Chains A and B, each alone.
Chain A
């Protein structure tokens, strides 16, 4: 039977070590927060099915290691991503200053078909911490987003579940739009290999 095509959207979550990437993902997928800190070793993903514009979409969310020594096999999984989430800690200036490095690294490794319009989203996490500890202002973050193609910005707290669901609704939409574009492009470049189809190989029945 001919089934309806199911969308698998690949999302990469990047950011400095300790900003809360894993906690954000756990809050979104499992609606849980653990105050225990565990460094992310290697790359790991969770999946979540969501409804976007009346379409059933499976988000494949890739959590990454913020420390280079825990990413020893490289970032081959960036390839084919549909959206990239950049995360920083609003109470940690350095995590904001390194965002461009993460973004550039992603664009180089993932090699999207159109780097200029590839969808990013920025999350400023840990807004639950008291205000006087805040180091990066909202206006500064918004300026960063505007300078890089008006990417969306959310201020989140994985701990208090602030804006996490909202942020990933936007992620899903962006990823779906991006995937649709890729599909259109892919259709035109899909070669037909008559030789392959004509070969007869043993059947497993």
Chain B
């Protein structure tokens, strides 16, 4: 009688104090168990369990205390089971015995401990004990204590719950899986009620504190659903018995915290196969939840889960197929292998994983729309978040069927973009970011950009964004195409792509140079094997690029270059009237380069492009266009008169290209090279003149490069060029420069002599060698004072004696190498005559 009174006292101790009491009692209990003193063990265990009535603990503190006591109880339960099995103590007797504990909390913990151990014994009256434990636990209605007590019940009965079917013998004693379902559902219902009750206890001012505490306790309730998912139920049982019972409790409790958490646990704890067959129920439930529940998270969680499921199953199936393909290859049946690969390329993961009778695309989409429309209070960012998830599902599970993804964009167009009431919201930054992310999803997951262009509603959503946002999206589009190597081959595709990208092209200033560079790079991914279509693509590109204003110089060159190479493709492709179409192509090239020319600041670029075009036009035997391009190049050359160094470089480029041409008429070629040589002779600086002319000499001596080529060769002109360059070299005031030029010209003589250019004879060469060596000797023996006397500018160079000596040495070596070359060939009578 004293014990009963003591046990009913309220306990308010610190966690440390309670734990200390529990530790002492637990240690004593363990000793009692070792020495077989069961009654003492029960008594000490009860002392520990009385601390579970401590009212001063927070949920987390209570959890610590609970965890400690669980360890003790498990030791007790294990020992009791062992003693039962070896015949020392009967668990049913002990089950009766512990019911005499003086306080309900210890009493129930002990009953659960003994009862659950009994469940694991053969021939146990499982059904009876299960029902008894459930009923007894109703005795604790204090929310915190009751939740943990029932959590203990869940934990301890895990092994003992029956899994059999009604058909088995002893079903009435052992129970069936449906008894387990009932057990868990009832426990779940009771726990949820305890959990919800916490919200309504205590003063209003502590509402948020209670909410926080309830958040901490939620995993206790969720464990019921986890246990249900661990029963390995068949679909019918889940759909017809489990899910409806759970959902009934969820909806009827009308508590938003509980509803939100428990629906998510349903999503996370049960398998995807079960979800696929109960989507109507799941989404129907979401719609019925309390207004303050965040349903967005619940919809997104299910959509993401199904997306991951399809990806996982598809990869798993694919790796299995890879093995079978290996077997196929061993059989040497390549044809079947190719067919399989062809099929795989077009097969959507969703089609492979989810049977078509589910009509998963329609089901999910209709549910998403229904949730959005039924929950009329949904904020705009939540709607966009849901749409993003369903779009992600369509893109990743059905990447070859853009019609599903397009529904999402259509919805965005109709219900967001074109809603007058949402006009102001569209300019808010967070929503813009969300829409931007949505617009980027197709770029990320479609196998190629072509599929993006099949989204008819994509462009309107894109165009509705602010310019800055459109710019960012356009930039991402270009980057994705380059990264993934997406190739577009149709004219309409290219035109639509340009529609997206124009926001980059039309931006003024220098901020977007990196992005313009990517746009130029992207041009290489707009490819069609038919040059007729390709030229139309390039025309579209040019029409768009013109809008770049000054920045056109960063974009149009790539179009020009691609046109130049396209000319060859026409010849290979040989479509109808291909030669005439190439002529149109060359006119287009000329137009493009003219655009660059008129934009100024890019004359050098234009010159280079004209020369490239001229080169290809000549190779492909369009001499009239090649002539025109060279003429244009000369015009640009003439405009560079203010920069003599640039002019010199440009002229060398022209000489190089012109010398390689093969299809000009003799008259046209002669006209061009004469003009070129004249330009060389008019360069501002004498050394440049000299170099220009002797390099231009090669224009008069083309070299045969194939069977059908007719190289142009005019020995007389070659000699004239060389002799004129000699005169200029001799006229240079700087002796070192003059000597250097002499040596270079000598090498040219050797070259033409080797080529059997008739106008170059041994006498010329031997005379030049003598003259050059004479100049070398005169420099070597002259003193700085003499240099000053003969060349007023030489005074400065004499100061740099070391450099001067170095230059002289290098020239001396150069001359010796040149003459040594000729001497080495003296076995040839022609060459030996040079030195006679």
Contacts and interface: CB of A to CB of B under 8 A. Distances in A.
Contact of A204 (B34, B35, B39, B273): B39
Contacts of A193: 24
Contact of B268 (A41, A60, A202): A41
A35 B316 contact: yes
A8 interface: yes
A3 B216 contact: no
A205 interface: yes
Contact of A74 (B24, B36, B63, B265): B63
Given A74-B63, A201-B43, A205-B39, A38 B271 contact: yes
A91 to B, nearest CB: 11
Given A2-B35, A6-B78, A196-B28, A39 B220 contact: no
A65 B78 CA distance: 26
Contacts of B155: 45
A72 B215 contact: yes
B273 A71 contact: no
B67 A37 contact: no
B3 A39 contact: no
A42 interface: yes
Interface string A48-86: 000000000010100001000011111011011000000
Given A79-B67, A201-B43, A73 B270 contact: no
B225 A76 contact: no
B226 A44 contact: yes
B78 A36 contact: no
Contacts of B271: 34, 36-38
B74 interface: yes
A201 B60 CA distance: 32
Contact of A42 (B60, B67, B215, B226): B226
Interface string B47-67: 000000000000110011011
Contacts of B102: 202
Contact of B60 (A34, A60, A74): A74
A74 B62 CA distance: 11
B652 interface: no
Contact of B27 (A2, A44, A60, A190): A190
Contacts, number: 106
B97 to A, nearest CB: 7
Contacts of A72: 215-219
A1 interface: yes
A196 B27 CA distance: 12
Contacts of B100: 204
A1 B35 CA distance: 6
A204 B4 CA distance: 12
B39 A76 contact: no
Contacts of B223: 41-42, 44
A196 to B, nearest CB: 6
B265 A41 contact: yes
- Which of B39, B63, B217 has the most chain A CB atoms closer than 10 A to its own CB? B63
A37 B270 CA distance: 8
B269 A41 contact: yes
> Interface residues of A toward B: which range?
35 or more
B60 A73 contact: yes
Contacts of B59: 73
Contacts of A204: 39, 42-43, 97, 100-101
A41 B2 contact: no
A74 B102 CA distance: 32
B284 to A, nearest CB: 22
B308 A37 contact: yes
B360 to A, nearest CB: 18
Contacts of B34: 2-3, 5
Given A74-B60, A130-B319, A41 B33 contact: no
B309 interface: yes
B604 interface: no
B278 interface: no
Given A70-B219, A71-B219, A203-B39, A76 B64 contact: yes
Interface string B201-228: 0000000000000011111101101100
Nearest to A1: B36
A45 B74 CA distance: 12
Interface residues of B, number: 54
B296 to A, nearest CB: 15
A194 to B, nearest CB: 12
Contacts of B2: 202
B39 A42 contact: no
Nearest to A5: B34
B272 A37 contact: yes
A111 to B, nearest CB: 12
B71 interface: yes
Contacts of B431: none
Interface string A13-45: 000000000000000000000111111111111
B196 to A, nearest CB: 16
B253 interface: no
A3 B35 CA distance: 7
Interface in A79-97: 79-80
Nearest to A36: B271
B75 interface: yes
B547 interface: no
A40 B34 CA distance: 36
Contacts of B28: 196-197
B326 to A, nearest CB: 12
B312 interface: yes
Interface in B294-346: 308-309, 312, 316, 319, 322
A41 B78 CA distance: 26
B75 A8 contact: yes
Contacts of A39: 268-269
Nearest to B219: A42
Interface string A91-131: 00000000000000000000000000000000000000110
Nearest to A186: B27
B479 interface: no
A42 B265 CA distance: 11
Nearest to B102: A202
A2 B88 CA distance: 13
Interface in B247-299: 265, 268-273
A3 B220 contact: no
Nearest to A191: B24
Nearest to B100: A204
A197 B322 CA distance: 71
Interface string A178-205: 0000000000001001001100011111
Nearest to B222: A41
B599 interface: no
Nearest to A196: B24
B335 to A, nearest CB: 26
A42 B36 contact: no
Contacts of A41: 219, 222-223, 225-226, 265, 268-269
A26 B549 CA distance: 67
B229 interface: yes
B219 A73 contact: yes
B275 to A, nearest CB: 10
Contacts of B316: 35
B226 A73 contact: no
A191 to B, nearest CB: 8
B78 A58 contact: yes
A178 to B, nearest CB: 16
Contacts of A35: 312, 316
Q: Which 4 A-B pairs have the closest CB atoms?
A: A42-B219, A36-B271, A39-B268, A76-B64
25 contacts: A1-B36, A2-B35, A6-B79, A8-B78, A35-B316, A36-B271, A38-B226, A41-B219, A41-B268, A41-B269, A42-B222, A42-B226, A45-B155, A70-B222, A70-B268, A73-B216, A74-B60, A74-B216, A76-B60, A77-B67, A79-B67, A190-B27, A197-B28, A204-B39, A204-B97
Given A2-B35, A79-B67, 11 more contacts: A3-B36, A37-B312, A38-B269, A41-B222, A42-B219, A42-B222, A72-B216, A72-B218, A76-B64, A77-B67, A204-B42
